[in-house]
Amino acid sequence: CVPVPDPDMEPVDYYKVSKLSVIAKGEPGSTSSPWELVPPLLEVYRERGHRRLAARTYDTKCRSCMWGCRMPVEIIVDNWNPRGLRKYRFEVSVMVL
């Protein structure tokens, strides 16, 4: 395994993992789609914008859906000095249907 250089910027802990083996296979999952509705048009989605959720809400209700995502984001703390203070954290964003 090769650890990532900056864990705050990456969604994984390691790169280039090798020599993995299957210990046991679980029960087959559901073959149904993780979403219930057809997504709206792109213009409607852009108008509504994304919604930030609590991490717990995402884990319990949105994690299996293809429209939700959890990803590292860069936050510029000082809008007047974009080269200044920056923070990194994971944010949860979902598409509102």
Which residues make Cβ contacts (< 8 Å) with residue 2, sequence separation at least 6? 14, 15, 16
Model confidence, pTM: 0.32
pLDDT digits (tens, 9 = 90+) for 15-63: 777 777 888 888 876 666 655 666 667 787 778 766 666 778 777 877 7
What are the structural domain ranges in the chain?
49-97
Query: Residue 45 belongs to what H/E stretch?
Result: helix 42-48
pLDDT digits (tens, 9 = 90+) for 59-90: 787 777 766 677 777 776 776 776 767 777 66
